Structure 1
């Protein structure tokens, strides 16, 4: 028979363990709740907006002319037409593509982010800079499409001035929705206690030299999109050869941009250096300007996507992928964040070399 008095003899340390477990459970519940909110803001609400917009356009088809304007020149006059069915289908495809692209930008790399002990992860707050664009962009595009198609109902020829008014109105409506989403979603909390602690420096002997280098590449989807952009810029070169110089410049620009999808990060006596695939230097932090370096976890959504970015805290970022990154606190500039594998070793060596330089 179990002695009921034994409940009072439990080791008092068990209480703290139970409290810690309760804290973890509460954090997990909060994370699940916040992920549901992100899904609602980034996916379900935009999809609902697209569905309602498409339904309205389908109901309008009997009132649309046989040929409906879908493109306008700089003066607001139509220069391209199509059938109402194709116009509605094209509108839906554009809207769904935007929802998909923004969902990828928001959720991209979420699983690669590891939870760091002592630094709770607020997922909703971290993806807030990117998440607000989903409802804002969807509302803006849907509003513009509805306005442009609505102006042509019953075969009415809309005045040229109404087109820019419809576009500006849709953009303002989208900006208002984005502002509301920004105010509703929790702001990232980056207090002093939440700032990344400097990675312990490597133990180098006096006069010992060391070099660390690693490469970082974009996810396959980003690489695919860059390749698609190169292909798209090459098509007009064939179809419109009279403007070949413009398309060549655009192609070269996209090609140079593509080289930044693969970078090499080096830490040595020169400090931290980031170069492109072709060797062009993207950034350099000399040792005498390094205050500290830390290995952190990064989501592209924190910085609004991939590439050269900055976040709401003022950090500058070279964001190639999600996951490990080196964050360098600089003496004369905002912190620099560079995503790269084995970031802990790189940060540890940078701290050691910077300390030896002082």
Structure 2
């Protein structure tokens, strides 16, 4: 709407890339600007809608507010006379975008109450269902056990390394909007590489899933937060929409492939899944430890 309103005041080529000091050094045509900006906002909206739980929908509003604020500030910077230099003020303009994001997040949080509760996951059982009757690992009184296994995705490793390798080159040499590909490379490459290989551990502390390359990121489910563990065949795309750390309605997971997965039913009925070989042994030990913990 603002683009249409300011169209006659905008130059034939919009300044869309700026130096560290804020002076324009890259330009994009108006049609390309509109198409890319629209695709960016629609892509963000689709991603948040598909993969984010109801309680975090406020973050979708914040993201839209921040992105929209920057795009509007970019248009405002281009409303200059023919002989003026287009300047983008990073501090002020980012501050305005952050303020818009905060306001949008507040509106999103208030509107969340109008969104229906998420339906339960099909096949999710109560305490007397299969989760409660899951496998057990016999342990003698006073005996302890620990199970740990590394698992990873070669494809995710390769893609993450390529994304990280391409990111600095793109950011240094490309102009906007191509520079967005460099940022996208960082967004995909850093968490992708961290989760491309993980170590899954079941012991007296509960379930721990962490990057095999570093202490973080890490997901931990303590014993007193586990209601039961089972084994399930998982379709990475069909059940979780892809690979990596995934968030769906009533369930989260570290999904590196399709196939056998350890599925933990947590307090409140939520599920956490991790695809790992020998998941049956992990589930059996976890159920035994949870049972023993409950008797202490």
- Pairwise TM-score range, normalised by the shorter structure: 0.5 to 0.7
Q: Would you say 1:178 and 2:108 are equivalent positions?
A: yes
1:339 is the counterpart of 2:274 = yes
Q: How far apart, in 2, do the equivalents of 1:270 and 1:143 lie?
A: 45
Which residue number in structure 1 is paired with residue 138 of structure 2?
Answer: 204
Structure 2, gaps ≥5 residues long? 175-184
Rounded Cα–Cα distance in structure 2 between residues aligned with 1:100 and 1:328: 28
Structure 1 residue aligned with 2:12: 66
Task: Choose between structure 1 and 2: higher helix proportion.
Answer: 1
Tell me the SS of whatever aligns to 1:199: coil
Q: Which runs of 5+ in 1 are unaligned?
A: 1-52, 107-126, 241-249, 330-334
1:263 aligns with 2:203: no
1:91 equivalent to 2:29? Answer no
Partner residue, 2:63: 137
Cα RMSD over matched residues?
5.6
TM-score by length of 1: 0.48
Counting strand residues as a fraction of each chain, which structure ranks higher? 2
Distance 1:293 1:265, change over 3 A: farther
Structure 2 counterpart SS, 1:153:
coil
Give the 3 Å change call, closer, same or farther, for CA 336–92 of structure 1 in structure 2: closer
Distance 1:65 1:185, change over 3 A: same
Deviation of 1:80 (Å):
3.4
1:91–1:278: structure 2 CA closer, same or farther, 3 Å change rule?
closer
Map 1:137-176; keep pairs closer than 5 Å: 137-150=63-76, 152-153=78-79, 155=81, 160=89, 163-164=93-94, 166-176=96-106
For 1:144 and 1:284, locate their aligned partners in 2 and report how far apart those are by CA, in whole Å.
33
User: Displacement of 1:231 after TM fit?
Assistant: 2.9
Distance (whole Å) between structure 1 residues aligned to residue 112 and residue 153 of structure 2: 28
> Over residues 80-128 of structure 1, what are the superposed CA-to-partner deviations in whole Å (9 max), with x where a residue is unaligned?
341433433332343244234435534xxxxxxxxxxxxxxxxxxxx21
- In structure 2, the residue matched to 1:326 is 264
1:126-179 deviation line (CA, Å, top 9, x unaligned): x21454444543344234423431453363868858635642453244324422
Distance, in Å, in 1 between the alignment partners of 2:148 and 2:39 is 43
**Structure-2 separation of matches of 1:230 and 1:147:** 29
Change (3 A) 1:84 1:130: same
What TM-score does the superposition give when structure 2 sets the normalisation length? Answer: 0.56
SS in 2 for 1:155: coil
In 2: Cα distance, 1:63 partner to 1:212 partner: 66
Count of residue correspondences: 258
How far residue 64 of structure 1 moved from its aligned partner, in angstroms, is: 0.6
Matched residues in 1 for 2:70 and 2:205: separation?
52
- Give, in whole Å, the separation in 2 of the partners of 1:237 and 1:283: 29
- Deviation (angstroms), 1:204: 1.9
Larger Rg: 1
Of 220, 223, 226, the residue aligned with 1:290 is: 223
Question: How far apart, CA to CA, are the structure 2 residues paired with 1:279 and 1:169?
Answer: 34
- Residues in 2 aligned to 1:279 and 1:306: alpha-carbon distance in whole angstroms: 16
CA 1:204/1:229 → structure 2, altered by over 3 Å: closer, same or farther? Answer: same
Output the CA distance in 2 between the equivalents of 1:218 and 1:130.
28
